[in-house]
Amino acid sequence: MTHLDDSALYRWMLLCSEVEAAVGRKNPGWFPVGGEEAVIVGSFAELQPGDVAAPHYRGPFVVYMMRGAELARLMCQALGRTGGYNKGRSVPFTGSGRFRCVPWVAGDLGTTLGTATGAALGLQQEGGSSVCVCSFGDGTANRGDFHENINLAALWKLPIVYVCQNNGWAISQRAKSYLPAPIVDRAAGYGIPGEVVDGNDVEAVRDVVLEASERARNGEGPTLIEARTWRKGGHWVRDKAAYRNNDEHEDSDPLDLLAERLEKRGRLDRKARERMRREVIADIDEALDHAERQPEAGEAELGLAEVYA
């Protein structure tokens, strides 16, 4: 099984972290990704060109970049500028179909599950061996959409992998207060495989998603993966998270875990990591500078003429 280079995985995680932090500084309503970089990158890093990605609303920009989207245009999108993929109309991704990405809708999270399952049905009808990987949060897993879509995918053996990005919180409610049993246990009720993985270990996430993808490519249907990760801060930037103790996972930073592993392998020392970080931040600053020089969306971009006579 051919894997993405481990130092490349680290760079994608670093890019994910720094892009999300930069956008959060500009948009206090942004949903910060800190603590969840490994499950995001690990879930989508090994997709093939014909596959479909349906990322969670927390940390989707790095997934779009892994599929070929431009950082500068994504920054335009985040700031509501005309250079974005949707001309500044909204933050959610509506880029070219060539990226094979399902757009997320921030106002109603569960709808991505239905669109992703529909995409898997389309892939099945086309033939071939392409799959869809769909990620979502533990709170979204308690919606009716979750059960309806997994039931249908199991029944029809659709080529899809469902990854629950379980960070332990649905906004300000602790998961154990609304989950009577582990999310992965639900897989048995649909007759499909269920897997638990350390969501802080990008290589472990990558491997379990790859195995599930192979089953889907072979016509064996969906898999439900519960990637147990954590959320460093609040639900959004403005949320100070006074309801929780941030120290509960202080030793579980996914970038630090992979960095230690890479150093032991002789793959990436401290100086190389710092150099990589400077390069990533320079790219982000350049993309932000470009976005801030673009005009804000106006009547033409917002499509007022398409709505009102």
Task: State the Cα–Cα distance between residues 93 and 68, nearest whole angstrom.
Answer: 13
CATH number of 6-297: 3.40.50.970
SS (H, E, C) 231-260: CCCCCCCCCCCCCCCHHHHCCCCHHHHHHH
pLDDT tens-place string over residues 134-180: 999 998 899 999 999 999 999 999 999 999 999 888 888 888 888 88
Q: What is the pLDDT of residue 1?
A: 45
Q: Which one, of 86, 76, 15, 77, lies nearest residue 45 by Cα?
A: 15
Nearby residues of 163 by Cβ (< 8 Å), 6 or more positions away = 39, 43, 133, 134, 135, 136, 205, 209, 225, 227
pLDDT tens-place string over residues 209-233: 999 999 999 999 999 999 999 888 8
Which H helix or E strand runs over 170?
A: strand 169-170
Give me the long-range contacts of 146-151 (CB less than 8 A, separation at least 24).
Answer: 146/110, 146/113, 147/186, 148/114, 149/113, 149/114, 149/116, 149/117, 150/186, 150/190, 150/192, 150/222, 150/224, 151/190
pTM over 0.75: yes
Give me the long-range contacts of 277-282 (CB less than 8 A, separation at least 24).
Answer: 277/14, 277/18, 280/11, 280/14, 280/15, 280/18, 281/18
pLDDT tens-place string over residues 238-279: 888 888 775 555 557 999 999 999 999 999 899 999 999 999
